[in-house]
Structure 1
Amino acid sequence: MRTIILTFITFMLVATPAFAHFGMIIPDANVATQKARSTNITVSFSHPFENVGMTLEKPKQFFAIANGKKIDLLSTLTETKVMNEGAWKTTFRFKRPGVYQFALEPTPYWEPEEDCFIIHYTKTYVAAFGSEEDWDAPAGLPTEIIPLTRPFGLYAGTSFTGQVLKNGKPVPNAEVEYELYNKEGFTAPTEHNVTLVTKTDSNGIFTVTCPKAGWWGFAALTTADYTLTAPSGKEKPVELGAVTWIKFDSFQK
């Protein structure tokens, strides 16, 4: 009987899915106007559909790119809580028109359950004062998703196409996970509906359709060509995530 119970517990542990991790950069809005020239931004690490947070140590880099210039924002971050875990926040005031990319390089996160480190290079977009210039420009991250669909002004149900790059080159057959930031508390009909999954084609391109309004995160996962030293002193692999957050809107009357 004891053997049967242990076998069942082992089966359940193996069968239980490990929900996806996502670096997150979420502004109040993805469009800035003359009436709303500032936005509050939260930076965190979580399981967004399940609303389960993880502690995010202070990032290595946090910056914006617009009009060909990089704006260092690391010193503007202050501590906050997201999903009851340590996170960061800032307020950014837009002074010029442009498409602003906000980007994050985190401190490597050790995940003992997966026996690896996780580094999610994360970004999002805010279009300021009607500008649409350079919305598909790379941010120069070690791995990132380049939008082939304009990453703002999208309705729920619109398809989104992106290209996954690693060291500036397309990544074929990469797994891309995507989730809704489930602030309304929806329940998934099965565990498979929590994290949706697709793969890139031979040119590193993927297309998905997001059925619900809100913020959606896309994480293209690859393995680094280096290792990091775990708390045990052993060298462990590194999961790299190219993460992009895009807001999908509802029709309004």
Structure 2
Amino acid sequence: MIRKTVLSAVAAAALFASAPAGAHFQLIYTPEVNLQKAGNVPFRLIFWHPFENGHAMDMGQPEEFYYIHKGEKTDLIDSLKKITFKGAHNEAAAYEADVKIKRNGDYILVATPAPYYEESEDIYIQQITKSFVNKGEVPTDWMEPIGLKTEIVPLNKPTNILAGSTFTGRLLSAGKPVAGAEIEIEYMAAEPDMAENKAGTPKAEPMPGGAIVAISDANGYFSFGIPKSGFWGFAALGSGPDKEHEGKELSQDAVLWVRAYDVK
């Protein structure tokens, strides 16, 4: 997994980096992000390699889990229950939650996981993650920054992106644009089976050439062509202001998940 900051700002572009095909990605997952009725929505918080249906990592108790709806924050930390998630190759600690959705509009789900120690790199990783659901097809605040230490703000509505179109985001750290940052891009080829808390059947395979990467420009913007329907994740590596945890390097990443659909 590539964890360095590119010092020079370059135009946003899709690149291939010389790294392993799969990347660590924190998930806030529910299979249906466009809701028509009020009710409880099931979520899974999993730290995983979803493109290759690869190794799953143990999650500690998240520091925060909440949603923002029309500018109001609702704490969800007490809704979390620890589960075991079964990947293709191993099992790992993860979390589930049922989230009550009532009113129309956008719900920005946020999880700040406990820092994860990556022994192979001798660093800690903390992926501050945003995901979205919408009720009633009423857009509200999906495009607004919400004041995270680091975050990717979508410039395309994240719950119904057209497969084959271009997605653009803006990377912020402490509220300011980040230039020249590496953003790893991940397809959720294997979506979690919600009933059995295990990996589903992969719908694609990682391509040769290593991780897919885009670079933020001088104003923090990056773009990527979405080639396939499903869930796509973007992780800006080391973009957060916190750089150390328990005496070791901390990669504090901004993660964003979006949902793309084919035209029928």
Q: TM-score, normalised by structure 1?
A: 0.85
1:206 matched to which residue of 2?
Answer: 222
- Read off the aligned partner of 1:228 and give its amino acid letter: H
Give the match's secondary structure for 1:75.
helix
Q: CA deviation at 1:191?
A: 4.7
The 5 Å alignment of 1:183-202 reads: 183=190, 184-185=201-202, 186-192=204-210, 195-202=211-218
1:50 matched to which residue of 2?
Answer: 52
Q: CA deviation at 1:16?
A: 7.0
CA distance in 1 between partners of 2:189 and 2:209 (Å) = 14
Please, which moves more after superposition, 124-133 or 17-26?
A: 17-26
- Read off the aligned partner of 2:175 and give its amino acid letter: G
CA distance in 2 between partners of 1:45 and 1:85 (Å) = 8
Q: CA deviation at 1:166?
A: 0.3
Cα 1:190–1:37 shift into 2, 3 Å? same
8 Å CA contact 1:32–1:38 kept in 2: the answer is no
8 Å CA contact 1:97–1:131 kept in 2: the answer is yes
CA distance in 1 between partners of 2:106 and 2:253 (Å) = 23
> Does 2:262 match 1:250?
yes
Q: How many residue pairs end up in the alignment?
A: 230
1:124 matched to which residue of 2?
Answer: 131
> Does 2:248 match 1:236?
yes
1:227 matched to which residue of 2?
Answer: 244
Q: CA deviation at 1:188?
A: 2.9
Cα deviation digits, residues 137-196 of structure 1 (max 9, x gap)? 11221000001111122121121100000000000000000110112422234252xx31
Q: CA deviation at 1:247?
A: 0.9
Cα deviation digits, residues 216-241 of structure 1 (max 9, x gap)? 11001125454222xxxxx2111011
Cα deviation digits, residues 36-67 of structure 1 (max 9, x gap)? 64321111111111212111111010001101
Return the structure number with greater relative CO, CA threshold 8 A, min gap 6: 2
1:168 matched to which residue of 2?
Answer: 175
Give the match's secondary structure for 1:222.
coil
CA distance in 2 between partners of 1:101 and 1:92 (Å) = 12
1:215 matched to which residue of 2?
Answer: 231
Give % identity.
35
Q: TM-score, normalised by structure 2?
A: 0.82
- Read off the aligned partner of 1:120 and give its amino acid letter: Q
8 Å CA contact 1:28–1:39 kept in 2: the answer is no
Q: Extract unaligned runs of 5+ from structure 1.
A: 1-14, 230-234
2:41 matched to which residue of 1?
Answer: 39
The structure that is helix-richer by fraction is: 1
> Does 2:121 match 1:152?
no
Pick one of 58, 79, 83 that aligns with 2:82. 79
| Alignment RMSD | 1.7
CA distance in 2 between partners of 1:23 and 1:198 (Å) = 18
Pick the structure with greater CA Rg: 1
